[in-house]
Amino acid sequence: MQLLKQESTSLIDIISYRSQSQPDRQAYIFLQNGEEETASLTYEELDKRSRAIAAYLQPWKGERALLLYPSGLEFITAFFGCLYAGVIAVPVYPPKRNQKLSRLLSIVNDSQAKLALTTSSILVDISQRWQEETDSLTQLNWVATDKVEADPQDFVPQLITPESLAFLQYTSGSTGTPKGVMVTHHNLVHNSECIKQAFELTSDSVSVSWLPTFHDMGLIDGVIQPLYTGFIGYLMPPVAFLMKPACWLQAITRYKATHCGGPNFAYDLCVNKVNAEQLKTLDLSSWDSAYSGSEPVHNTTLKLFVEKFRDCGFQEKFFYPCYGMAEATLFTSGGFKQSPPIVKWVQTKALEENKIVDVTHPNPSSQEGTKAIVGCGHSWLDYKIVIADLESCELCADGQVGEIWVSSASVTKGYWNRPQQTQETFEAYLKDGSGPFLRTGDLGFLHDGELYVTGRLKDIIIIRGQNHYPQDIELTVQKSHPALRLNCGAAFTIEVKGKEQLIIVQEVERTYLKKLDVNHVVEIITQAVAAEHGIQVYATVLVKTGSIPKTSSGKIQRHACRTKFLNGSLEVVEDWSENPQYKSGFIRLQDEVESIFNTFAKKS
């Protein structure tokens, strides 16, 4: 049975509809360790449990509630319990042991949360770890929702309108301090309809998601979309996938999943970690929408994945590159299902000048100075996507690079308690007065209606007047030697004597830590960057496995990495500078270089 679009004005309407029309149908199944089915919820069970939690939460209507949950279904019932009660959910993740609490404290203080919902086991652990922590944490009202025994019948329905605030989605903080995006019920319903139409989802679709539920992609596509469209959603812990990527593909095989995906690095991980024996167990022929989003989509990754899993039934047309962001709820653009990804080859030099010059050679990958950009589809429903000139705010011509601006009913209300930043980001107007638009902070261009994303505005590297995209430099570095970990490096600049200089910080594979020929690796990195990008590397720092600063969703935090470089707190394996006298100064700031690095720190 399908939910008619006009019937749904909020997620509460959708839960009620499902529980009444399909009470016994499975909504979610949890796979412990990515394999064993250990918990499940029917629509009726989901509705009753959510109403029970809502009955308990009613006195806190309008307040913010942190949701700190391990992987499992308890998060889902707590999230929908908040929606029923009119409590504004704030999904976050429980910090790991010995992990700094700075991000969590920032979110607590910014959201002015009064409640913290979690499980009884997490609550015991938290009370032991945070006994002497700040007032921000100890003064919260802590609730273990798995122990709530309120009667669902005691719940008094709340007035929920399309414009009612559903939750705060805190941004990843990859380019700054996390901000709480205000997502309404209407935003969620509209974006869910966009996703449903773009991916041609039906009640027969099946998803398997390892994405964390505190992240917008994991929450909206992994949890809300199955409920909205009425298909079953299988969930597994993110760590299960990261430790054994094959378990995700094996679950897709076992349940004949159709709609699954993640960031580009997930496909890289599958290519690098799934072995020959595991390949024999896979049948990926059912997987007709393998979406890739949240970070740049690399053509090389797509090709390698298709090549490795072709004999498992995977086809190139299954790939679905897409684009989106929390400020637009989630999904912004995507292509047509069952159409192969559109790849545009351009001249790198022209791209550095914000121009697009096509490569006409029949084998563009063999040509120097070329770059493949994967298209991220087109707009859906009422979405309008424009490219704005960075200086004049005029509409860019087709094929000209500028900032991506969007408008849609999916665009959220702004940032919680940040009116100035909300105005700057959500109320942009073109020079001709058209708007308002959401400024995405991403660079890109349109060609024949297809959106191509080229990088982040804040991360762009400018050396000698030329624009360089850090992700391109990072990929060049990581491809130059097998000792260098994929998706685990940062390229940024510092100012040295009035000039911007390129810094490379790169993780080393654990298996190479004790046998690394540093001089050889650094020489290869330097040559590769010079050949591919025409830039001299000022300093290269090789760091320990797992030490590059990343957001909770796996994005490289280049600004945080730059700060660690400047204050000497990187976990260094070895470092190198074009000035030999500065060698080994990056970790301890020895006397001979302390003054110059203090200068850098002040300027940063």
The residue among 400, 426, 456 that closes a domain is 456
The residue among 456, 491, 510 that closes a domain is 456
Provide the pLDDT confidence category of residue 128 given band limits of 50, 70 and 90: low
Residues 434 and 492 in one domain: no
Residues 426 and 494 in one domain: no
Residues 383 and 352 in one domain: yes
Residue 391, in any domain of the structure = yes
pLDDT of 134 above 60 = no
Token pair 């700094």 in the structure block, residue: 100
Residues 467 and 590 in one domain: yes
Q: What is the pLDDT of the chain when averaged over all its residues?
A: 86
Residue 117, in any domain of the structure = no
Residue 471, in any domain of the structure = yes
Residues 500 and 540 in one domain: yes
pLDDT of 129 above 70 = no
Task: Give the pLDDT of residue 431.
Answer: 94
- Range from 139-153, 436-450, 496-510 that averages highest in pLDDT: 436-450
Spatial distance between the Cα atoms of 344 and 339, rounded to a whole number of angstroms? 15
Provide the pLDDT confidence category of residue 554 given band limits of 50, 70 and 90: confident
Q: Helix, strand, or coil here: 261?
A: strand
Q: Mean per-residue pLDDT for 353-382? A: 84
Residues 486 and 590 in one domain: yes
pLDDT of 604 above 80 = no
Give 60's DSSP letter.
G
Residue 283, in any domain of the structure = no
CA-based nearest residue to 328, from 218, 194, 202: 194
Residue 424, in any domain of the structure = yes
Residue 123, in any domain of the structure = no
Residues 495 and 429 in one domain: no
Residues 479 and 593 in one domain: yes
| Own/partner long-range contacts of 592-600 (Cβ < 8 Å, ≥24 apart) | 596/496, 597/566, 597/567, 597/568, 600/494, 600/495, 600/496, 600/566
Enumerate residues 6+ apart whose C-beta is below 8 A from 267.
290, 292, 301, 302, 305
Provide the pLDDT confidence category of residue 103 given band limits of 50, 70 and 90: confident
Residues 499 and 426 in one domain: no
Residues 418 and 482 in one domain: no
Residue 323, in any domain of the structure = no
Task: Give the pLDDT of residue 580.
Answer: 38
94 forms beta bridges with: none
Write the CATH number for 356: 2.30.38.10
Residues 543 and 499 in one domain: yes
Q: Is the model's pTM score more than 0.95?
A: no
Share of the chain above pLDDT 70, in %: 88
66-80, 130-144, 515-529: least confident range: 130-144
Total domains, the chain = 2
Residues 429 and 488 in one domain: no
Q: Mean per-residue pLDDT for 550-574? A: 80
pLDDT digits (tens, 9 = 90+) for 177-197: 778 999 999 999 999 999 999
Task: Give the pLDDT of residue 501.
Answer: 86
83 vs 533, higher pLDDT: 83
Token pair 């330097």 in the structure block, residue: 526
Domain residue limits at 348: 342-456
CA-based nearest residue to 599, from 502, 501, 497: 497
Write the CATH number for 557: 3.30.300.30
pLDDT digits (tens, 9 = 90+) for 218-266: 999 999 999 999 999 999 999 999 999 999 999 999 999 999 999 888 9
The residue among 419, 441, 456 that closes a domain is 456
pLDDT digits (tens, 9 = 90+) for 579-590: 433 334 333 322
Residue 536, in any domain of the structure = yes
